[in-house]
Amino acid sequence: MGNILVIALVGVPLEQRLGTRRFALVYGIGLFGGSFAWYVFNLDSGNPSLGASGAAFGLFGAYLAGWPKDEIPFPLILIRKWPVLYLALFYFAMEVYRAYSTLGLNQASDVAHMAHLGGFLAAYLLLPLIAKNGPYLLGVEDGGPTSSSGERSRLNQIRSTMVDMSNIVDPWTAKGLEIPRTIRDSLRSLLASADEPETRLAWMEHLAEAAKCPDCQANLGVVERISGPQLQCSVEPEHLNWPE
Ligand SMILES: [Zn+2]
């Protein structure tokens, strides 16, 4: 559960910072760095170690090396936005303490603290190499990809490239079909008030749930494109891909 929490809350903004491939590389380094550290510190143990803990701590290490001032929502004492710097150092200090007390008592620990630290350090040290030529400069201070200003600039970006829907024909009418009764109102609202990306996306998602593909009756989905959200047939995008 702890690993899932970290991977979800820290991993998502870090992936936005790094892009998918670089993020996958960081994850792998944390994973193997963690396993390697476990091996070194447990040479007498017959148990192999393979787990997401090193990878989860690796995300902290990488994020700390790259964008320590990003603020991400995290349940640490309180659920609120915390700077990555605090979160990463807090987790690191906790693990040093736990690893030390485990070694001191010479007890096997159920949680591989050494793996956590190994993953953290490996990712921290290698991040500058990995992030080279990536989407964001190291140490850039804009509050982080999930901050309100980052979100606002993302929405402005979508708004400037979004297709105009005020003079567009809905897909049912375009195919000479009657608009299903269940979606008539939301379709009208979408066409009338969808010059804001958030509103357009919300109405699109509503339509996708309430309607079926006009060609094959399959479920619909919403895809986010640079031209704004698109309604698509989940089986064959050629059936419905609107607005084009
Ligand atoms: Zn279809």
Kindly report, residue by residue over 75-129, the tens digit of the pLDDT.
888 888 899 999 999 989 988 888 777 665 555 554 567 777 888 999 999 999 9
Q: Which of residues 180 and 228 earns the better pLDDT score?
A: 180
Residue 123 neighbours by CB under 8 Å, 6+ apart: 26, 29, 30, 33, 57, 58, 59, 60, 61, 62, 65
Q: What is the percentage of the chain residues whose pLDDT exceeds 70?
A: 87
Which residues are catalytic, by number? 53, 116
178: how many CB neighbours lie within 10 A of its CB?
A: 8
- Interstrand relation of 228-233 and 78-83 (parallel, antiparallel or unpaired): unpaired
First to last CA, the chain: 41
Cβ atoms of residues 14 and 23 within 8 Å: yes
For residues 43 and 171, give the distance between their C-alpha atoms in angstroms, rounded to a whole number: 65
pLDDT given at position 210: 92
Give residue 53's identity as a one-letter amino acid code.
Answer: S
Ligand 1 centroid to 193 CA: how many Å?
A: 26
Give the C-alpha distances (Å, rounded to integers) separating 68 from 64, 85, 119, 168: 5, 5, 17, 45
Query: Quick one: average pLDDT of 142-159?
Result: 67
Query: Is the confidence at residue 65, as pLDDT, over 80?
Result: yes
Tokens of 137: 């400069």
Ligand 1 centroid to 20 CA: how many Å?
A: 30
Ligand 1 centroid to 240 CA: how many Å?
A: 6
Per-residue pLDDT tens over the stretch 21-50: 999 999 999 888 877 777 777 666 666 555
Query: Quick one: average pLDDT of 164-170?
Result: 84
- Listed by start position, the domains of the chain span 2-146, 159-242
Residue for token pair 């944390």: 30
Lowest mean per-residue pLDDT among 9-13, 59-63, 152-156, 202-206: 152-156
Secondary structure in 3-state letters for 137-197: CCCCCCCCCCCHHHHHHHHHHHHHHCCCCCCCCCHHHHCCCCCCHHHHHHHHHHHHHCCCH
pTM higher than the cut 0.85: no
Instruction: Provide the 3-class DSSP secondary structure of residue 231.
Output: strand
What is the average pLDDT score of the chain?
Answer: 83
Cβ atoms of residues 18 and 131 within 8 Å: yes
Ligand 1 centroid to 238 CA: how many Å?
A: 8
Per-residue pLDDT tens over the stretch 218-227: 999 888 777 7
Query: Is the confidence at residue 51, as pLDDT, over 80?
Result: no
Q: What is the percentage of the chain residues whose pLDDT exceeds 90?
A: 32
Tokens of 83: 């700077």
Lowest mean per-residue pLDDT among 94-103, 177-186, 198-207: 94-103
Ligand 1 centroid to 114 CA: how many Å?
A: 52
